Copies of this chain bind each other. A is one copy, B any other.
Amino acid sequence: MRRVGAALAHRHFLQQALAEAEVALSMGEVPVGAVVVQDGAVVARAHNLRQTLHDPTAHAEILALRAAARELEDWRLAEATIYVTLEPCLMCAAAIAEARLKQVVFAAYDPERGALGSRQHVLGEGLEARRTEVLGGLMEEEASALLKRFFLSRRDV
């Protein structure tokens, strides 16, 4: 029963991360979205804004972590889970480790740049060996469809 509940919660929050990614897509940004959840409630949500903000670090995960820590007034987010539509890159995975998150749940794997299993593995037994649980590959189809729409639209330009 508990497992079923967790799976439903994961889908629920990934759906919200996907809605954030849709916003990024509408702005011409690479469509990645993230939400940070603590005690069953969303404490921060963000989407990729790298072009818009002229900020090399403005990936969805970094913006969501920063907003969550500001909201909770603590840079340590040890009770929080981040939901993200794409496997985090090395910078974002290391930022998740820096913020001491309890768990990261992501949708699509990123074979080229993913740092939580695809290209490197930063958490768990990986480079950082921090105790952040990693769960990947949920709702992969929906997240990949968004990315495909983005790259197809770019090809038309």
Contacts and interface: CB of A to CB of B under 8 A. Distances in A.
Interface of A: 50-51, 53-58, 62, 65-66, 69-70, 72-77, 89-91, 94-95, 97-100, 115, 120, 122, 127-128
A14 to B, nearest CB: 22
B51 A56 contact: no
What is the oligomeric copy number? 2
A95 B57 contact: yes
Classify the secondary structure of A's interface with B.
loop
Contact of A98 (B56, B77, B99, B100): B56
A81 to B, nearest CB: 15
Contact of A90 (B51, B72, B99, B127): B127
B73 A56 contact: no
A55 to B, nearest CB: 5
Contacts of A97: 90-91
Nearest to A127: B120
Contact of A75 (B51, B62, B90, B91): B51
